[in-house]
């Protein structure tokens, strides 16, 4: 979803005991947001329900990071990441997110639940340059191969560290 919101440098920090919770259908349409999600997003519940979860996507986040997230959860696995989100007023807030698929009795994915908590400052400081490099690679590559270029940066970092994705994220 394209929005005419201008990002600002105003950061909102999550409180240590906060948990942002949201649920979506299989296509990423928001079906539930807890009061802390509503608070940090800056949108009303009415503005959030029924719209794409990417309404809070910050332009500093590489597209390839979200491709990895979608590929992982659509395969039925859980996903962990540090994410920079943008609120309605253009401010931003960092989260450590855990996204898990929701299954019906037959094992079909019927939606996703995302629980976000306050990230460690040190982890954010380490992931920001990774996302910046991924984003730069995406921009340099152009729209056609942006996701592949951003992914290549992440894969290179994983190869250099000898870690898989989850191991890398949990090591931050």
Q: How far is CA 112 from the centre of its chain?
A: 13
Q: Domain boundaries in the chain?
A: 19-171
Residue pointed to by tokens 């503005």: 47
Question: What whole-number percentage of the chain has pLDDT above 90?
Answer: 98
Q: What is the pLDDT of residues 128-156, one digit of tens each?
A: 999 999 999 999 999 999 999 999 999 99
> 52 forms bridges with which residues in the sheet?
29
Q: What is the pLDDT of residues 13-63, one digit of tens each?
A: 999 999 999 999 999 999 999 999 999 999 999 999 999 999 999 999 999
Both structure tokens of 77:
């696995």
Average pLDDT value for residue range 87-116: 98
Question: Selecting from 1.20.120.140, 3.30.450.20, 3.30.70.1230, 3.40.640.10, what CATH number does the domain 19-171 have?
Answer: 3.30.450.20
Both structure tokens of 91:
């401010």
Question: pTM to 2 decimals?
Answer: 0.94
Alpha carbons 64 and 70: distance in angstroms, whole number:
10
């Amino acid at each position: 979803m394209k929005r005419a919101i201008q990002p600002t440098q105003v950061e909102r920090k999550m409180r240590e005991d906060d948990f942002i919770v949201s649920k979506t259908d299989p296509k990423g349409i928001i079906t539930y947001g807890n009061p802390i999600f509503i608070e940090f997003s800056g949108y009303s519940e009415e503005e959030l329900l029924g719209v794409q979860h990417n309404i809070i996507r910050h332009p500093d986040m590489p597209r390839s990071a979200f491709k990895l997230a979608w590929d992982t959860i659509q395969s039925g696995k859980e996903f962990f990441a540090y994410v920079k989100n943008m609120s309605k007023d253009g401010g931003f807030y960092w989260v450590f997110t855990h996204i898990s698929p929701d299954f019906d009795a037959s094992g079909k994915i019927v939606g996703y639940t995302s629980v976000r908590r306050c990230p460690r400052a040190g982890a954010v400081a380490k992931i920001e340059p990774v996302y910046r490099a991924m984003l730069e690679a995406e921009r340099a590559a152009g729209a056609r191969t942006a996701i592949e270029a951003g992914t290549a940066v992440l894969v290179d970092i994983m190869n250099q560290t000898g870690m898989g994705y989850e191991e890398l994220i949990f090591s931050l």
